[in-house]
């Protein structure tokens, strides 16, 4: 059995249902502007930002003008904040796995590309915030996932080696980030199925957090 001292959770799509809510928002905006291609575009940009996101939208929404793309994107971001605040919930079994791992004595941390203010607000709203010892957010790193920076930074902050760290992620970019940092990773896919690369990098791919918790009990032991 492999010894692990810390378990690090991604947030969006892993602990919280936010990725699914963003999908709802993009669907609402796409219907409003009679642009079916925008409705399903969110799944293509999960985990990416900036120029990478813009490139995907340019390719996906070639039938509308750049100005129309920007209008829909800005509206989705605008209404999304209120929509998420109203509908955010913990993912199935999130409370169970967090409470169980904490009872076993693991250090629990967060590594998310979302900024700290929103991360803390949503974790507090869902009664999960106080369960975590360390939190590193997207506005506290220079490079986003799949770069390993965020996982290396949370390991350094908690003074725990990547080799003693288990990560739970829902996206391919997250799995790649954890793998490149030298962490073991369990993938719980959310809106997108795993690609071959993630299958090779992940220690295991499971259906939900309940299966992840069971696997941890079977395969890992708490290090000292």
Whether 114 and 209 map to the same domain: the answer is: yes
Whether 35 and 123 map to the same domain: the answer is: no
Whether 123 and 203 map to the same domain: the answer is: yes
Whether 103 and 183 map to the same domain: the answer is: yes
Q: Is the pLDDT of residue 1 over 90?
A: no
Whether 126 and 207 map to the same domain: the answer is: yes
Tens digit of pLDDT for each residue in 154-171? 999 999 999 999 999 999
Residue that terminates a domain, selected from 87, 109, 142? 87
Boundaries of domain holding 74? 19-87
Global confidence as pTM? 0.95
**Distances 156 to 42, 134, 169, 222 between C-alpha atoms, Å:** 33, 10, 19, 19
Q: Give the CATH number, domain containing residue 109.
A: 3.40.50.1000
Residue that terminates a domain, selected from 35, 62, 87? 87
Whether 54 and 162 map to the same domain: the answer is: no
CA distance 16 to 10: 9
Q: Is the pLDDT of residue 56 over 80?
A: yes
Q: Provide CB contacts within 8 A for 12, sequence distance 6+.
A: 18, 19, 112, 113, 114, 170
Whether 83 and 167 map to the same domain: the answer is: no
Domain count, the chain: 2
Whether 203 and 106 map to the same domain: the answer is: yes
Whether 103 and 201 map to the same domain: the answer is: yes
pLDDT confidence of 44, banded at 50, 70, 90? confident
CA distance 184 to 169: 11
Q: Is the pLDDT of residue 48 over 80?
A: no
C-alpha dihedral sign at 151, 154, 44, 21: positive
Whether 116 and 56 map to the same domain: the answer is: no
Whether 97 and 72 map to the same domain: the answer is: no
Whether 109 and 175 map to the same domain: the answer is: yes
Residue that terminates a domain, selected from 87, 118, 137? 87
Q: Is the pLDDT of residue 129 over 90?
A: yes
CA distance 54 to 70: 9
């Amino acid at each position: 059995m492999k010894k692990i001292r810390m378990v690090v959770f991604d947030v969006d799509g892993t602990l919280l249902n936010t990725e699914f809510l963003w999908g709802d928002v993009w669907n609402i905006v796409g219907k409003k502007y009679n642009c079916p291609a925008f409705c399903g575009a969110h799944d293509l940009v999960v985990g990416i930002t900036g120029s990478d996101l813009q490139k995907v939208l340019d390719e996906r929404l070639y039938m509308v003008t750049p100005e129309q793309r920007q209008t829909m994107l800005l509206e989705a971001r605008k209404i999304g904040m209120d929509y998420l605040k109203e509908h955010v919930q913990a993912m199935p079994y999130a409370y169970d796995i967090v409470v169980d791992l904490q009872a076993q004595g693991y250090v629990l941390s967060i590594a998310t590309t979302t900024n700290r203010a929103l991360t803390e607000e949503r974790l507090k709203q869902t009664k999960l915030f106080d369960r975590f010892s360390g939190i590193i957010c997207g506005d506290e790193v220079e490079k986003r996932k799949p770069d390993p920076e965020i996982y290396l930074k949370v390991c350094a902050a908690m003074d725990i080696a990547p080799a003693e760290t288990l990560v739970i992620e829902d996206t391919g970019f997250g799995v790649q980030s954890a793998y490149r940092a030298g962490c073991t990773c369990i993938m719980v896919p959310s809106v997108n199925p795993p690609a071959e690369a993630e299958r090779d990098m992940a220690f295991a791919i499971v259906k939900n957090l309940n299966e992840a918790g069971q696997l941890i009990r079977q395969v890992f032991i708490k290090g000292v």
